[in-house]
Chain A
Amino acid sequence: MSEPPRARIATASLAGCFGCHMAILDMDERLIELTKLVEIDRSPLTDIKSFTRRADIGIIEGGCCNEENVHVLRDFRRNCDVLIALGQCAIMGGLPAMRNAIMHSDEPLRECLEEAFISGRNIRNTTHNIPNDPALPLLLDEVYACSEVVEIDYQIPGCAPSGDIIFDTLSRLLTGRFRGFGRDMIKFD
């Protein structure tokens, strides 16, 4: 008897710290159980950089802080049947969104970058320039949550989410039994 086709999963890290991808590894030996149900397509884990075919589930870590993040996120929405925002940064901007609260001046982005690269108290930047290499993606005016850019189907909370909540959500989604999170599983830290 041939094995049933496995679901294809793609993942990406946008404005995040890769902690949520590390949290995927926190599923430990349950990863072996999961690989019976899924194969991993485009992902930093496989180093595949673009979609070769449509994926069943896309998992996004991090929000959008630059134009490249938006491009990748839209690419995922186009190529994935179900899109999951994994962790607080993807859900509400997280740590990078701290810059949004200081963005109330006339030239907020300039002020932010000048403090980060030129005028900040502990900066040692011998060039006295804000990096502007053409290869660097342009920063957005603010950090946006994934759901502000594209339609998101499920959000898994946590910073980083526990291996338990990731395994529980994925395994129940794959078998069509997902009915929301248990109250004891919701954590924002």
Chain B
Amino acid sequence: MTAFRFTIDGVEIDAREGQTIMEAADEAGIYIPRLCDHEGLRHQGSCRVCTVKAGGRSVSACTQPAAAGQEVENETPHLGKLRRDLVEMLFHEGNHLCPICEASGNCELQAMAYRLDMTAPTKFPYLEPCRALDASHPDIALDRNRCISCGRCIRASQDVDGKGVFGYVGRGIHRHVGLSAEDLAGTDAKLADFAISPEVCPVGCIIRKRVGFATPIGEREFDKGLIGHEIEERRHE
């Protein structure tokens, strides 16, 4: 495999052929914000939070292959604002009420808002959609109010579990995550599925019943540090 170098915000980093910009950045300890991308899942490039400038063009870092000599911009005021606007719009599109959500503190959407200095989503009107709950399954519940349609559960179920419990339905603003049956109890979803594991759903949509408050608010994953800090710590090792 050919090794080469390229720069992110002027810092020269190593990469191998076949790596995306994000994979090379992760190895070098440079964090690029992301929501729909997750380690162990196929890249999708749909949330656009990982947008970087490569050679002056906007590309999603999770799908764009790294290239020798490429000059990538990541932490610039312009990209920071663009990412913050995207995250704000996600807050306005669903019903994201952090104070009542059991995922608060473990939620990647919320943690991304903290990292991008979003103190309050107030710029756009709230869509306040009416979305049904699904608590039919004995061990799992779905609160679609919090779904951001990242599709991580879809890819986890199809590619890792080999099941296809979840799938996209509809187009444009109407696109949402649908199920392979009438309700969750009708599907073959199991608590042991990778798609149901807490790391796959970035928000509080896929809920594992009876464990929600096992870890109290204030002692959760992103109470310990900003999202991406474990990647940034690699840089100093």
- Interface on A for B, CB 8 Å cutoff? 85, 88, 91-92, 94-95, 97-98, 100-104, 145, 147, 155, 157, 159, 180-181, 183-184, 186-189
Contacts and interface: CB of A to CB of B under 8 A. Distances in A.
B92 to A, nearest CB: 10
A147 B98 contact: no
Contacts of B120: 85, 91-92, 147, 155, 157
Given A157-B120, A183-B115, A188-B110, A97 B97 contact: yes
Interface string B128-158: 1111000000000000010000000000000
B128 A188 contact: no
B22 to A, nearest CB: 21
Given A189-B99, A189-B217, A103 B128 contact: yes
Interface in B192-217: 217
Contact of A184 (B97, B121, B226): B226
30 contacts: A88-B98, A88-B99, A92-B120, A92-B121, A94-B97, A94-B99, A95-B99, A101-B128, A101-B145, A102-B130, A103-B128, A104-B130, A145-B122, A147-B120, A147-B122, A159-B98, A159-B99, A181-B119, A183-B117, A186-B118, A186-B119, A187-B114, A188-B98, A188-B99, A189-B98, A189-B99, A189-B104, A189-B105, A189-B217, A189-B218
A155 B123 CA distance: 13
Contacts of B128: 100-101, 103
A186 B131 CA distance: 28
Given A145-B122, A157-B119, A101 B98 contact: no
Contact of B226 (A98, A103, A180, A183): A183
Give the bracket for the number of chain B residues in contact with chain A. 20 to 34
Nearest to A145: B122
Contacts of A183: 114-115, 117, 226
Given A91-B122, A92-B120, A101 B95 contact: yes
Contacts of A186: 113-114, 117-119
Interface of B: 95, 97-101, 104-105, 110, 113-115, 117-122, 126, 128-131, 145, 217-218, 223, 226
A157 B101 CA distance: 16
B119 A155 contact: yes
Nearest to B222: A187
Given A88-B97, A98-B95, 17 more contacts: A92-B126, A95-B99, A97-B97, A98-B100, A101-B95, A101-B130, A145-B122, A147-B120, A147-B122, A155-B122, A181-B119, A183-B115, A183-B117, A188-B104, A189-B99, A189-B104, A189-B218
Contacts of A102: 130
Contacts of A180: 117
B100 to A, nearest CB: 6
Contacts of B122: 91-92, 145, 147, 155
Contacts of B105: 189
B125 to A, nearest CB: 9
A55 to B, nearest CB: 23
Contacts of A101: 95, 128-131, 145
Contacts of B100: 95, 98
Nearest to A97: B97
Contacts of A145: 122
Nearest to B118: A186
Contacts of B110: 188-189
Contacts of B223: 187
A109 to B, nearest CB: 15
Nearest to A154: B119
A183 B113 CA distance: 10
